[in-house]
Amino acid sequence: MSKKRTWIKRSLHTLAYLLGLVMLISTWLSDFLPIYEQIFRTGVILYLSIIYIEFVDGTILDRIKPSVLFEESTKRAQKNEVDVLIQASRMTLYWVRMVQASESELEKEYNEKRLQEHLQFIEELELPKKYHKDRRDILEEARGFMNDMLKQG
């Protein structure tokens, strides 16, 4: 069923772009339209195409959306920083599990050391202010786990 929907969606997207292309070609091949009318119609067709790409089309053209092309570099950098924080959070969980799953004392010490290094890395991350609380929560959870492990061990 999903393959059928995908095929239908692709067909509709192709039809929309072909329609736009036919409209552009017919506008410029028309002998009866003055040049200002041709330019105006071309602008309208391009505007509608951009709106379609921006809000409807979910294909490879997502990379050339106007919102992506003209996005501020700071927003892009923030997204990268947030992605790094999310990945760091996942790695923290990984190292916590590794400490818990350690079978020997040597393995446990190694994993605890790696967890401490990872927590140090998280502390040194330069993040926007609105993500400081999230970082602090991650660090508190991991350190709470470490304190519990020390009490038990």
41-79 tens-digit pLDDT: 999 998 888 788 777 766 656 566 666 666 665 566 666
For the record, the structure tokens of 107 come out as: 């393995």
For the record, the structure tokens of 114 come out as: 């790696």
Say what the alpha-carbon torsion angle 57, 61, 67, 72 is, to the nearest 10 degrees.
Answer: 150
- Percentage of the chain beyond pLDDT 70 is 81
- Across 62-88, b (16+ Cβ under 10 Å) vs e yields eeeeeeeeeeeeeeeeeeeeeeebeeb
Q: Is residue 1 predicted with pLDDT exceeding 60? A: no
Q: Taking the CA atoms of 32, 36, 37 and 39 in sequence, report the sign of the dihedral they define.
A: positive
Using an 8 Å Cβ cutoff, are 122 and 95 in contact? no
pTM of the predicted structure, to 2 decimals: 0.47
Q: Which residue did the predictor score with more confidence, 24 or 82?
A: 24
